[in-house]
Amino acid sequence: MLHSNLIPKENYEALAPEKKEEYVSMAIKMILRDNIKTGLTAREIEDSTYFHRNTVSKHLSRLVSTREVYVNDDKKKGGVFHINGNPEHPAFTEDIFDDENKRQYSISILENKFNQFIYIQEIAKNAYAKPVISGGILVSPKRLDALIQGLQKIKSQIDNTGGGNNDPNGQNS
């Protein structure tokens, strides 16, 4: 049965390709949010939309890789997808802007059914200059000190070797 909040299929098909991409991701997150307690399999998401299974699969993979969605490997169901929640403490959100490399990072506290995490997102701009999550990691607060130590070691190594090339393509300025 189709999810009640989807736009009509004709309206979806009339969208520009970039808008379709945005809409599919938004729709999948909305459907998962509506099923927050149980989660859904990819097949159940397909059955509640008019999106092709390859489209659903592609978007679920991207949402998992950016940590907006996680999958519980339920062998009987082939994986159950859950929305990862929203940042729990927006007051603790820290945005870092890297103007030189035109990148933005957002660090916040996120809570899902398993625990609280530090959520680090890389935010890029899409074709319409709208911010979109392009990558993300979840770090357990218990492992945060180890992560910081590891980052400090890497930074020290870069500083000691005269590195620090800021060009993401490896070109010297």
Split at pLDDT 50, 70, 90, the class of 124 is confident
- In the chain, alpha helices (H): 9-13, 17-34, 42-47, 53-65, 144-160
CB crowding 18-40: b at 16 or more within 10 Å, else e: eeebbbbbebbbebbeebeeebb
**Per mean pLDDT, which range of 65-79, 99-113, 136-150 is the poorest?**
65-79
Domains of the chain: 9-83 (1.10.10.10), 90-160 (3.10.450.700)
Summarize pLDDT for 136-171 with one digit per residue, the tens.
888 989 999 999 999 999 999 999 987 765 555 444
User: Which residue, among 71, 91, 89, 88, has the nearest Cα to 80 in the 3D structure?
Assistant: 71
- 162 Cβ contact partners less than 8 Å away, ≥ 6 residues apart: none
Computed over every residue of the chain, the mean pLDDT equals: 83
The CA–CA distances, whole Å, from 122 to 22, 96, 100, 116, 141 equal 17, 10, 15, 19, 19
User: How far is Cα 111 from Cα 117, in angstroms, rounded to an integer?
Assistant: 6
Looking at the predicted structure, is the pLDDT value of residue 173 above 50? no
State mean pLDDT over 97-111: 83
Query: Ramachandran region of residue 39, left (φ > 0), alpha (ψ -120 to 50) or beta?
Result: left
Q: For residues 102 and 46, which has the higher predicted lDDT (pLDDT)?
A: 46
Split at pLDDT 50, 70, 90, the class of 96 is confident
**Per mean pLDDT, which range of 9-13, 29-33, 100-104, 138-142 is the poorest?**
100-104
**Per mean pLDDT, which range of 71-75, 128-132, 164-168 is the poorest?**
164-168
Enclosing H/E stretch for 118? strand 116-125
Looking at the predicted structure, is the pLDDT value of residue 113 above 80? no
Q: How many beta carbons lie within 10 A of that of residue 49, not counting itself?
A: 19
The confidence score (pLDDT) of residue 171 equals 47
